[in-house]
Structure 1
Amino acid sequence: MKQTRREFLATGSTTLIAKAFPFYIIKAKPKLSDEITGHGDFRYRVHQGWGVLDSGKYPVNNCHEMVQTRSRRLFMLTDEPKNNILIYDPSGKLLDHWTLNLKGAHGLTLHDEGGEEFLYITDISSGRVIKSTLSGKIVMELKNPRSEGIYDEFSKFIPTETAVGPNGGIYVADGYGSQFILRYDAKGKFISKFGGDSFLQEAKFKQAHGVAIDYRDKSNPTLICTARMKNAFKRFTLEGKYLETYYLPGAYVSRPVFDGDNLYSGICFGMTPGDYNPKLNRGFVTILDKNNKVVSNPGGNAPVYREGKLDLLLQEQPVFKHCHDVCVDNDKNLYVCQWNAGGVYPYKLERV
């Protein structure tokens, strides 16, 4: 008999959309749920009340992204200026909080640099890209590309995400602005940019919402970039040469998150059958394997491939509204941050 993950361990082992719906908030009290969601080997028990705090003391607006440090602390980024960072332990206990007074804190990347961990934070309200310590001390800030002559005076810069490469180089996704991925060295000196705005050209983006380094082929790391409005992830070399596209019909993907051989992403918007326009409150999570095939959709329908082509992905269980990010912990549980979901705190999806 096949063991569950728990048994095994026990026995020894926006801004197209963001502008259209900028602050559509309906306050709703989260509730506990033991619903099981997901498919195949990636099934989860939903704990909607896992991260709930006193909203008077620790308010959140949109819970944008979350990362886990070596010490197992979970850092969650919100665009509530009173507490941009909430720090949890895996049980949902609040350990600490701090703020940089950012009104549009959006992207959160963790990077280990010689044994010390740093956070890279993007702010869509001010166009800031900040590097800070885990206690919130700013140690570097990238200059706005307009001030450097990288963009002209008419080009928008609204950074949504960062990634840090093997040599410390920084990649910035201008996902709500001019749709470029900008390359910098480890000290913040501009190198080049690639991408740009186009629905039709494969090497360009519509809502380059996320960027991450794919180390699954350790001898040949590459970049995976989000093209949310194209329902796709796009692969590039570290120098910005386009390689290929992974099309996920119906899925308005957020940033790619890697854990082992798998790629995880929140689906912020979905579709309804027969209507190919993005819909509110249709979010779910998607999980791809090492071959970049969808293997599970917590909150969504089971993935089906016909002659190598993936069927339309749709929300099936109304667990989520708009999934903005997924964090995978050391026990392979998931934590889901949501945009425009009534001010809810992160949900925990316990692996079963």
Structure 2
Amino acid sequence: MRNRSAFVAFALVFGLALPVFAADTPEPVRMGCGQMTFDTVPGWGLGPDGKSVIGPTHGGVAVDKDGNIYTSAHAGVFVFSPEGKVLRSFLGDKYSDMHDIKIREEADGEFIYGARNANAEGIKFNARTGDIALKLPFPEESGLKLTKFNPTAITVAPNGDIFLSDGYASDHIFKFDKTGKYLMHFGTKGNGLKEFNTAHGMTLDTRYNPPRLLICDRNHEPKGRLLHYDLNGEFIAEVVTGLGMPTSAAVQGDYVSVPDLHGRLVILDKSNTIIAVLGHNADPAKRVNYNVPQADWIEGIFSGTHGSSWDKDGNLYVQDWNVAGRIMKLVRVK
């Protein structure tokens, strides 16, 4: 009931009996501004008992051509209908801990590409059947001597080349061809203009021709930033600076959604100007906080925004880094 507060005030003035409202059924919350205005969908993705069904989340979100939503959690990958019902899941050791996921339509079907930080590999599997088509372990042929390999992001070029970011370790970005053959790597750890301090997120920025890489330099000092590189690993430019901790990026048309671990999501236009901020958490104790239980979730307020994706209608699906497993649907207001 959208006008609950007004009704309560009216009832108190005129002595009417107050109805009992369900405390566990929040109202939709409107957020954003202008053409980037959204309404939340309370309870989206929860089970019949109102509890999260996916378990702890530290992953990404992707939407297939039919509008179904894929989100990765510690347990594996869950597939939801646009209405928020679980359609299928890919669980167990083969699918666990995908820190980032992308979906791509290819000649023989749609495939999920995942960066498995805890399992030190990239992976490609069929989005319908779960059949694994490709694995990308650390490429020994690179000649690098790394003590740790912790991939955090993955994306795919138009020709099928695969980019895998070692964002929790060396901050190198590795390039493979579509068969998994190592081609090259670029990037190094640091706070210089052309260095990464946690190359945490990455996507193909199709707002440009030819497309380029959009990379989230999450821990760059003094503030996080986004960078452009071409598909040969050459630096192009800083896109935007002064962000909090940008974790990932998703492109639709001229717009980019960028989750920030500080508990908000920013939207950029084609000029890379921030045109909306969603779900900002004003409570420092609840920002960058994995341990916010479901009982303390606040409708329309994020706590550790980590992954996002758009559907064809411009609706957003957002995942929090969260102990109980939180994924939300934001419906674009036309």
TM over 0.5: yes
Whole-angstrom CA distance in 2 between matches of 1:284 and 1:205 = 22
Q: Secondary structure at the match of 2:318?
A: strand
In the superposition, the TM-score normalised over structure 2's length comes to 0.81
Deviation at 1:256, TM superposition (A): 1.4
Deviations 1:108-166 (A, max 9, x none): 11112225211111211120211100121111111323x43542043x21001111101
Aligned to 2:193: 202
- State the identity %: 26
Deviation at 1:65, TM superposition (A): 1.1
Aligned to 2:59: 64
Q: 2:150 aligns with which of 158, 167, 176?
A: 158
Q: Tell whether the 8 Å contact from 2:225 to 2:243 is kept in structure 1 after alignment.
A: no
Is 1:41 the equivalent of 2:35?
Answer: yes
Q: 2:100 aligns with which of 107, 113, 116?
A: 107
Q: 1:346 aligns with which of 324, 327, 332?
A: 327
Q: Tell whether the 8 Å contact from 1:99 to 1:136 is kept in structure 2 after alignment.
A: no
Whole-angstrom CA distance in 2 between matches of 1:99 and 1:37 = 34
Would you identify which runs of 4 or more consecutive aligned residues in structure 1 move more than 3 Å? 29-33, 54-59, 147-150
In the superposition, the TM-score normalised over structure 1's length comes to 0.77
Q: 1:263 aligns with which of 256, 260, 267?
A: 256
Aligned to 1:225: 215
Q: 1:182 aligns with which of 174, 179, 183?
A: 174
Whole-angstrom CA distance in 2 between matches of 1:255 and 1:30 = 31
Matching residue's letter, 1:348: K
Matching residue's letter, 1:284: R
Whole-angstrom CA distance in 1 between matches of 2:89 and 2:132 = 15
Alignment of 1:285-296 (within 5 A): 285-296=265-276
Unaligned runs of 5+ in 1: 1-28, 270-282, 302-313
Unaligned runs of 5+ in 2: 1-22, 282-286, 289-298
Is 1:144 the equivalent of 2:138?
Answer: yes
Are residues 115 and 149 of structure 1, via their aligned partners in 2, closer, same or farther at CA, if it must alter by over 3 Å? Answer: closer
Are residues 30 and 348 of structure 1, via their aligned partners in 2, closer, same or farther at CA, if it must alter by over 3 Å? Answer: farther
Deviation at 1:31, TM superposition (A): 5.5
Deviation at 1:182, TM superposition (A): 0.7
Alignment of 1:297-308 (within 5 A): 297-300=277-280
Q: Tell whether the 8 Å contact from 2:189 to 2:197 is kept in structure 1 after alignment.
A: yes
Whole-angstrom CA distance in 1 between matches of 2:24 and 2:186 = 41
Whole-angstrom CA distance in 1 between matches of 2:241 and 2:181 = 35
CA RMSD of aligned residues (A): 2.4
Q: Tell whether the 8 Å contact from 1:32 to 1:47 is kept in structure 2 after alignment.
A: no
Are residues 75 and 192 of structure 1, via their aligned partners in 2, closer, same or farther at CA, if it must alter by over 3 Å? Answer: same
Which has more radius of gyration? 2
Aligned to 1:284: 264
Residues matched between the structures, number: 290
Matching residue's letter, 2:178: A
